[in-house]
Amino acid sequence: MTKVAIIGFGSRGRMFGNLIKEDSDVELIAIADTEESCRAYGRQCGIPENMCFDSADSFFAQGKICDAVFICTQDAQHIDMALKAMELGYDICLEKPAAVNIEDCIAIRDTANKLGRKVMLTHVLRYAPFYQQIKKAIDNGILGEVVTLNQTENIAYWHFALAYVRGAWRNMANSSPTIIAKCCHDIDIINWLIPAKCTSVSSYGNLYYFNRAHAPEGSADHCADCDPKVRESCIYNAYSIYPERMNTSVIGGTAHLKGKDICAVLDSKTEVIGKCVFRGGNDAIDNQVVNMLFDSGATAHLTMTAFSERCYRYIKVHGTKGEIYGDAEDGILYLTEYGKPQQVIDVNKMTDRNLDDGHGGGDYFLYKDFIDYITKDSPSFTRTTIADSIECHLMGFKAEESRLKGGIPLEINL
Ligand SMILES: NC(=O)c1ccc[n+]([C@@H]2O[C@H](COP(=O)([O-])OP(=O)(O)OC[C@H]3O[C@@H](n4cnc5c(N)ncnc54)[C@H](O)[C@@H]3O)[C@@H](O)[C@H]2O)c1
């Protein structure tokens, strides 16, 4: 039996906890979370009281008590926890981003190499059957050589407001740049699919909409104080968004509010989720474009936008012999070998797994691969090495640096 622990039992930690529950070969022996409500949830999941630790530090103080840890705390906390876990001898499934600056990312990579620890970043998209089909079409040569790739991350207006205007990622200095926080998966996918090395990136982006310039007349710092007519007509009205969504899921940074009377929380004006989206002091940008050049001559383009109805990713890959495109949430791919009829590939029919949640099946398959990695070291077509993950992070951090420097191209050199 493989024994694991989860540090940070919020949204992502609970997701992994649920997958472990389904797996008869793996036992979740401990959780650590600073919030009592999260530890209470741990006890409900069958973890004994004395194994529900009140912080990562009190968990680490026990020494090495299991085979591996899942680190699912917030972005800026990963570095210290990852280094400590490796020092104690743990292999790690590390939530993305590895860290909030490139120096710390490199420290994680180098420590893993020096101590011989297995550290896998949660690049879930690679594991989604949708992207696996695209990878196979490229590796089989059906598309010929990949020349251009376009990826769009449509965050959805309501999701952006929850996570990047009012949520844990609203302030880039306290979390990570939006291109890292939201798009390190997209950059990973682009880097995985294009069989070449990225040599240069350039980027533009800004906070276009969620700022004081767009605050309607009659709005106030908190929805609680907004003119009722203005609030009624606002699509970001916290009273209409949160109570329902918090009943059905845990939103990053809000696990401690689960089970509370959300309208009373909003009335109290004590939580950031009740702030006006135009007056909250957030600085996470709501649109960004990144251009990438690869050493094969291939080019790629990534658009990140807050402004869409649905939360979905769209990809189009153009090769010398064919093209493939699709919407990852639909799970339908359109593949054309030039001069031949178009094929429609429905990835939903390719697995028994429900692909509707968990990043198109990616969370489940990533979890399984991590367990295979630490128990059998079996080869995997999909697995990302810590070195590859850190290279993708560098592309993201360089894109952010380019954006801040007015879009100048910057070399990728690790
Ligand atoms: N792989 C993905 O697709 C994906 C998706 C969403 C979020 N994430 C990443 O996962 C991480 C967690 O995000 P989340 O949405 O689950 O956040 P969350 O806020 O729901 O969970 C984090 C938990 O860590 C706990 N915590 C804080 N300090 C702690 C400490 N010192 N010791 C132990 N626990 C502590 C908090 O109480 C909270 O319950 C973030 O880094 C985020 O960027 C990854």
Query: What count of Cα atoms within 13 Å lies in the side-chain half-sphere of residue 50?
Result: 1
Q: In Å, how far are 310, 313, 327, 359 from 330, measured between CA atoms?
A: 11, 10, 6, 12
Q: Is 124 in the pocket of ligand 1 (CB under 6 A)?
A: yes
81 lines ligand 1 (CB under 6 A): no
CB 284 within 8 Å of CB 296: no
Spell out the domain ranges in the chain.
2-121, 125-209+283-355+383-411, 212-274
Residue with tokens 């682009």: 190
CA of 94 relative to ligand 1 center, distance in Å: 11
> How confident is the model over 69-124, as pLDDT tens digits?
999 999 999 999 999 999 999 999 999 999 999 999 999 999 999 999 999 999 99
Q: Do domains 2-121 and 125-209+283-355+383-411 have the same CATH topology?
A: no
**125-209+283-355+383-411: CATH topology:** Dihydrodipicolinate Reductase; domain 2 (3.30.360)
Does any ligand 1 atom lie closer than 6 A to the CB of residue 96? yes
The predicted model gives 314-337 an average pLDDT of: 97
| Alpha-carbon 182 to chain mean position | 6
User: Quick one: which of 75, 152, 66 has its CA closest to 329?
Assistant: 152
Q: Would you place residue 243 in the very low, low, confident or very high pLDDT band (cuts 50, 70, 90)? A: confident
Structural tokens at position 180: 């890292």
For ligand 1, whether the C-beta of 42 sits within 6 Å is: no
Go through 172-185 and write b for each residue having 16 or more CB atoms within 10 A of its CB, e for each that does not.
beebbbbbbbbbbb
Cβ 73 under 6 angstroms from ligand 1? yes
Is the pLDDT confidence value at 30 over 80? Answer: yes
| Ligand 1 centroid to residue 256 C-alpha, Å | 12
Residue among 54, 72, 359 to mutate when testing ligand 1 (max atoms within 8 A of CB): 72
Cα separation of 134 and 231, whole Å?
44
* 104 HSE (CA, 13 A, CB side): 17
Q: Which of 74, 131, 174, 258 to mutate to test the pocket of ligand 1 (most atoms within 8 A of CB)?
A: 74
| Residue 72 CB–ligand 1 contact under 6 Å | yes
CA angle 327/328/332 to nearest 5° reads 65
Q: How far is the CA of 265 from the centre of ligand 1 (A)?
A: 21
- The predicted-structure confidence for 116-165, as pLDDT tens digits, reads as follows 999 999 999 999 999 999 999 999 999 999 999 999 999 999 889 989 99
**Alpha carbon of 367 to ligand 1 centroid (Å):** 16
> Which residue stretches of 118-237 are H helix?
129-139, 157-160, 178-181, 184-193, 228-233
The overall average pLDDT reported for the chain is: 93
For ligand 1, whether the C-beta of 249 sits within 6 Å is no
CA gap 178, 69 in Å, rounded: 26
Q: Is 97 helix (H, G, I), strand (E, B) or coil?
A: coil
Residues across the chain: 414
Ligand 1 within 6 A of CB of 382: no
What confidence score (pLDDT) does residue 362 get? 86
Joined tokens for residue 275: 């702030």
Pairing of strands 2-7, 26-32: parallel
Angle, helices 184-193 vs 386-404, to 10°: value is 120
Closest CA to 237 of 212, 269, 274, 205: 274
What are the tens digits of pLDDT across the range 259-312? 788 899 999 999 888 999 999 999 999 999 999 999 999 999 999 999 999 999
Closest alpha carbon to 257 in 45, 41, 59? 41
Site of tokens 């981003």: 97
Q: Which CATH architecture group holds 2-121?
A: 3-Layer(aba) Sandwich (3.40)
Indicate if ligand 1 lies below 6 Å from the C-beta of 17.
no
Q: Which atom of ligand 1 is nearest to the CA of 15?
A: 16
Query: C-alpha angle with apex 52: 47 to 53, nearest 5 degrees?
Result: 160
pLDDT reported for residue 414 = 77
**Residue 14 — very low, low, confident or very high, per pLDDT cuts 50/70/90?**
very high
pLDDT band at 223 (very low <50, low <70, confident <90, very high): very high
CB 201 within 8 A of CB 409: yes
Residue among 269, 272, 266, 281 at smallest CA distance from 253 = 272
Gap from CA of 355 to ligand 1 centroid (Å): 23
Q: Which of 386, 395, 396 is nearest to 413 (CA)?
A: 395
Residue 34 Cβ < 6 Å to ligand 1: yes
Ligand 1 atom at minimum distance from 78 CA: 41
What's residue 256's pLDDT? 76
Going from the C-alpha of 225 to that of each of 119, 218, 261, 267, the distances in angstroms are 47, 9, 18, 9
Is the distance from the beta carbon of residue 8 to the nearest atom of ligand 1 less than 6 Å? yes
> What pTM did the predictor assign?
0.92
What is the mean pLDDT of the segment spanning 327-345?
96
